[in-house]
Structure 1
């Protein structure tokens, strides 16, 4: 049978950025059809993850004619919530590639990785990511992409404003932002606390301030005195002084901030490796350094992993395993990392990238990885807590906002979710 790939744009009223890659081949041929919901890593339709998955699916189906794969690609603003709706409605996809897995693992909805993957595939994951994918020492979350965060700054805008080097402390950062504003820069420091990735921007600042989301035993500490001081500083020294640009942090999403940086409108912002290619494409001359801490260098930065998981509902364990073994081949992991400038999640791909001078631009991120801290993804309450941070944290720095009250409210809900685990 002749096989073909169709790409459809779904027109659901609730989702503005929904792309569906239809299965290659007829679903009525007696084979199994797998459904995957995946996040979009592209900055535009031109480099949407839809294209990556189309290539992977076409190659996989050519080798596995009895397995069809349908991939729905959603923006990061929507993908976690959409998967949650599907699961709640009893319509879980076979696989989801999203931001959190542990709540589904706690509900016994996921296959353990060792019931899906071959031993070589599972053993190829970076050990730190394998452990982060575990609940009660069983791996359910399979890392799909990893990165760290650095502060990007526009060298041309710095030079025009008379700034000779990137800031090494918060005081210097605020002073530099003020100079950039005086020179007419639209976003002296872009602070994206919109729903797309507010939980990541928040964690970066909490770590730089000397604390984080949890204590040493993994219990939430969002409203610690140190964290409240961090958000008071952000509000008083950046937001209230008009140093974050014309869009309120609660309304500014990460990709919009990246787009503005690539247009030369942003002096500083926190970014991950995908911004490198986007900014270079637009001819931006930029530098990258760790986000400074309150009084100097921060003790650590944030590490991030996005997760692949497989739901048990449809019972396609063998077919899912075959597809994921293919997805995690060195060739495919390298292709994804290369396309989006994202750090690989497997040893084989990392070794290949480290040995290839083509990826020298990623070295600062690789260097930051060993000391980086991941969000508490192993907490089964994390998906709920993360969603609450996305909804509320922007209010902490809004006009008339009260950082202590907002952080305490998030903490109370986090504690309740934690107690319910």
Structure 2
């Protein structure tokens, strides 16, 4: 049995279990990629929507991860068994824009009575998902960005009460922490969203030509020719000197575990993990979050958004679209949507309306929440530039995998940094050329 037929069987089971409700309400399918506790939050939001009225029913199905949500949706569309709404992560944006299978969000909102103030979305979020003309083809949903998690008690050992503002200051701090007896000053892994994408955006460095791919499908990667190479060399030097450690699930624990249990004094990760650190931290641990260091103080560009947006799929009935519109109104509203996600995860509000609502209710004054507003500061640290707008490269998931694999090879001593990144660039450009050939003659929206 194929993967899709297995999934179809699962959908059928859900439909049968719905029983009488299917006769009373207009149903539509919503597929999401979040898993674990975050997936439970999404499912609960579906339940809350269904309980809020008696006309529509969202049949919500977790797909077991972002990659699976994208691939399952593509397979289902080909079989004409696709959902009405699907949650697709940032890296899948260009694939869906070129798919010919979606109902653009701005058009859907206009035609189905959803009053959306598109200008209220934070520019760092809106620009990632917008077309070249600024039209929003999906609804930003769960959003995050990168921050520095740092142990204030460990930094106090070197006489400092502020997080380092530059990478040079961070390097000096790591050396001082080691001399002060701190066993691990910094935990890192091979993640490209953190190490390459955020670093490049915040320091005004290109990842690819044609404004990181926004200018067309002929883009080529150039990350192997920028300060990113020296940045990774510094990471390697810190590791070799005993200032930093690689922390992945394969070597015992991941970054957040290593930071939360006090094993390492700092790490870089998504603000979405703020709640995880708070709930799993070592007793009495005094920590905070800060914007990531930059290469040169005073020359900070906005960080990139991470997370996912909601796409409406083409080819569904008017009744399903009517139900989906009611659902999208609910999950994008400041109170039932943004507030709910922010209160139950580490994700941030995606609009100024949502942010102001949370601030007015004292959300960011709560002890367990304090620091999450740093993510907003990072996303709005500058006007969005052509290099901090986002990344629009075809099959970007595969490019991420190539860079990650080569970074792992470099940090485990199989290659030097330059060779590894050159190899990653060569294979990434091959991926881009194949993608360009697949969509030859097509223009990016």
Question: Common fold, TM-score beyond 0.5?
Answer: yes
**Quick check: 1:189 aligned with 2:190?**
no
> 1:376·1:382 contact (CA, 8 Å) conserved in 2?
no
> 1:142·1:309 contact (CA, 8 Å) conserved in 2?
yes
Alignment size in residue pairs: 395
Which of 196, 200, 204 aligns to 2:198? It is 204
Report how far residue 183 of structure 1 moved: 5.9
- C-alpha change, 1:38 and 1:125, in structure 2 (3 Å) is farther
Paired residue for 1:54? Answer: 44
Which of 96, 100, 104 aligns to 2:86? It is 96
Report how far residue 344 of structure 1 moved: 1.0
Distance 1:242 1:136 in 2: 45
Paired residue for 2:377? Answer: 367
Paired residue for 1:155? Answer: 152
- C-alpha change, 1:121 and 1:53, in structure 2 (3 Å) is farther
Distance 1:238 1:297 in 2: 25
Paired residue for 1:339? Answer: 344
> 1:191·1:252 contact (CA, 8 Å) conserved in 2?
no
Correspondence list, 1:30-69, <5 A = 31-40=25-34, 47-60=37-50, 62-69=52-59
Distance 2:184 2:28 in 1: 44
Distance 2:404 2:226 in 1: 21
Of residues 383-392 and 362-371 in structure 1, the stretch that sits farther from structure 2 once superposed is: 383-392
Which of 400, 409, 415 aligns to 2:414? It is 400
Question: Root-mean-square deviation (CA), in Å?
Answer: 3.8
Corresponding residue SS for 2:309: strand
Report how far residue 159 of structure 1 moved: 3.0
Which of 95, 102, 109 aligns to 2:101? It is 109
Report how far residue 365 of structure 1 moved: 2.3
Paired residue for 1:9? Answer: none
- C-alpha change, 1:67 and 1:114, in structure 2 (3 Å) is same
Distance 1:36 1:218 in 2: 31
Distance 1:225 1:274 in 2: 29
Report how far residue 103 of structure 1 moved: 0.9
Corresponding residue SS for 1:116: helix
**Quick check: 1:29 aligned with 2:20?**
no
> 2:206·2:212 contact (CA, 8 Å) conserved in 1?
no
Structure 2: any 5+ residue segments left out of the alignment? 1-5, 7-12, 214-220, 440-445
Report how far residue 143 of structure 1 moved: 0.7
> 2:114·2:325 contact (CA, 8 Å) conserved in 1?
no
- C-alpha change, 1:169 and 1:123, in structure 2 (3 Å) is closer
1:74-121 Cα offsets, whole Å, 9 max, x none, are 345755555556557765333222313221120111111134323413
- C-alpha change, 1:133 and 1:172, in structure 2 (3 Å) is closer
Report how far residue 272 of structure 1 moved: 3.2
Which of 205, 208, 211 aligns to 1:214? It is 208
Higher helix share: 2
> 1:124·1:347 contact (CA, 8 Å) conserved in 2?
no
- C-alpha change, 1:294 and 1:127, in structure 2 (3 Å) is closer
Structure 1: any 5+ residue segments left out of the alignment? 1-13, 15-20
1:45-97 Cα offsets, whole Å, 9 max, x none, are 5x433144324334335514443412316345755555556557765333222
Q: Give TM-score scaled by structure 2 length.
A: 0.74
1:354-400 Cα offsets, whole Å, 9 max, x none, are 33333143332222222366563555554554454455543343312
Distance 1:102 1:77 in 2: 14
Q: Give TM-score scaled by structure 1 length.
A: 0.77
